Amino acid sequence: MSKDIEIKHITKKYNKTTILNDVSFTAEVGKVTAFLGPNGAGKSSTLRILLGLDTATSGTALIGGEKYSTIVCPLLTVGSSFDGVGSPGDRTVSQYLKIAAASNGISFSRIAEVLKITDIEHKKNSRIDSLSLGEGQRLGIATALLGEPQYLILDEPTNGLDPSGIRWFRNFIKEQANNGKTILLSSHILSEVEAVTDYVVFINKGNIVSKGDLKTMMAGFDSLEEVFLAPCQL
């Protein structure tokens, strides 16, 4: 069975406005695929369709050959961090993780493990609404890791992280890819993912403008930002 994430000819229209136009790309197993573009480019819309939070006008989005909506106990297969934690602020970090674990039949012993991985053990008894933006990001990643999933889908994972947090994330995500995970992450901050990505997909105004492995995309350029701002990409 394929362990790739496949986006095939996704088009999304809202009334007469085309949000996504024939978007296609593959995130391969054992690699970090970076889905990049400015705010409003269509990154989150694509990921919402992939995660079953929205429907496409046409096309398919598959995770290991399946639609997300058909996966039983999805946390055991797919870990995602998207649109924040989404929990009442008066719950503690531990309470939130216990609810997520129980919903997918995951042992509570895993909670201590993901808190250690994301380095927020000291926040386990803190209320959600007391967390900084960066701590909230780490909690979202901890939740994504609960079921030890094959697939990690992360939307703007470095948003709010301080320099030490960004360094932690780089080491973490490389390790996950080296362990054979399939990783798709989106970002509008190109410099922060350049150090970790293997394959790059650029989207702008709902259209894929270029895609390819990092080395090929960077040929003749000093940074991913320069690649994206090149005249042929706009």
Q: Classify 55 as helix, strand or coil.
A: coil
Helices (H) and strands (E) in the chain, counts: 8, 9
Higher pLDDT, 185 or 229: 185
HSE of 153 in the Cβ direction (CA atoms, 13 Å)? Answer: 28
Summarize pLDDT for 144-194 with one digit per residue, the tens. Answer: 999 999 999 999 888 888 888 889 999 999 999 999 999 999 988 788 788
In this prediction, residues 204-226 reach a mean pLDDT of: 90
- Concatenating the DSSP letter of every residue in 70-102 gives G-SSGGGTEEEE-SS--S-TTSBHHHHHHHHHH
pLDDT cut 70: percent of the chain above it: 97
Per mean pLDDT, which range of 20-24, 72-76, 226-230 is the poorest?
Answer: 226-230
What residue has token string 């320069």?
226
pLDDT over threshold 80, residue 15: yes
What residue has token string 């293997």?
198
Give me the residues paired with residue 186 across strands. 35, 155
Q: What is the mean pLDDT of the chain?
A: 91
Alpha carbon distance 60, 79 (integer Å)? 20
Among the listed residues 60, 52, 48, 69, the one whose alpha carbon sits nearest the alpha carbon of residue 9: 60
The domains of the chain, with CATH numbers, are: 1-77+151-234 (3.40.50.300), 79-148 (no CATH)
Alpha carbon distance 7, 5 (integer Å)? 7
What pLDDT shows up at residue 39? 85
Q: What is the DSSP letter of 26?
A: E
